Amino acid sequence: DAGVIQSPRHEVTEMGQEVTLRCKPISGHDYLFWYRQTMMRGLELLIYFNNNVPIDDSGMPEDRFSAKMPNASFSTLKIQPSEPRDSAVYFCASKPGPLDGNQPQHFGDGTRLSIL
Amino acid sequence: GEDVEQSLFLSVREGDSSVINCTYTDSSSTYLYWYKQEPGAGLQLLTYIFSNMDMKQDQRLTVLLNKKDKHLSLRIADTQTGDSAIYFCAETNILTGGGNKLTFGTGTQLKVEL
């Protein structure tokens, strides 16, 4: 089975540039999550979607961050303009809907983002 | 907010058992998880336990839950070098956010020595 697929795996860009991270969830999963991992703050939930609709974006740090899910198989996390403090590993995760019980989240391999 | 705490490092010899501990503050935690993260990779789900259980065993892994003390542990029997990784404890509460918001610990780096 294909897992959660993220692209790119690595991104290095200069501050002020727009960054777009992409995620393809596991087919049939109704929930999609975006996390950020840093040494200082650990794993933080940024936003999650249910059936393509954003449910909780309280973890999105600033207006520079935005996330979309135009269809069930694709989501983007965009940072515009990017800043050096946005450097982190960004993970996408997905899980099935509640009809399958409270199933755990499955994570992608992450995008390692470096803003110079 | 809720908090999950883990010790940062654990070193064991190959073949020994490893015990990674986790404490949490949410007395209403419903599900507790253990994830493994290898260098450069994402989080791999190892096992999880529902809060009405005390123990769960899956091959070399044993999870123990003490709800009274809000303490979760992961025991890895016959630890191998391939078990070297960071192990994250996480909890969620069905009553808040439908069990979708995970609170993660800081992670325990397990080093297996020959």
Torsion of the alpha carbons at B10, B12, B15 and B18, rounded to the nearest 10: -30
Cβ-Cβ contacts under 8 Å, A42 against chain B: 104-107
Q: How far apart are the CA of B52 and the nearest CA of chain A, in angstroms? A: 14
Cis peptide upstream of residue A84 (ω within 30 degrees of 0): no
Determine how many CB atoms are found less than 10 A away from the CB of residue B52.
8
Q: Do A104 and B106 touch (CB under 8 A)?
A: no
Flag if B43 and A31 touch (Cβ within 8 Å): no
Please compute the mean of the pLDDT values over residues B65-78 and round it to a whole number: 95
Mean pLDDT of A49-67: 94
Whether A105 and B40 lie within 8 Å, measured CB to CB: no
Looking at residue A98, its pLDDT comes to 72
Chain B environment of A43 (Cβ under 8 Å): 43, 88, 104
Segment B35-62, tens digit of pLDDT: 999 988 899 999 999 988 899 999 999 9
Query: Mean pLDDT across the stretch B71-77?
Result: 96
pLDDT value of position A100: 57
CA distance A57 to A35: 11
Q: How far is A102 from chain B (nearest CA, A)?
A: 7
- How confident is the model over B79-106, as a mean pLDDT? 89
Q: For the ranges A13-17, A83-87, B14-18, B102-106, which has the lowest average pLDDT?
A: B102-106
pLDDT band at B1 (very low <50, low <70, confident <90, very high): low
pLDDT higher than threshold 60 for residue B94: yes
pLDDT at A101: 64
From chain B residues 41-80, the ones with a CB under 8 A of any chain A CB are: 41-45, 48
Burial tier of A94 (Cβ tally within 10 Å: 0-12, 13-18, 19+): buried
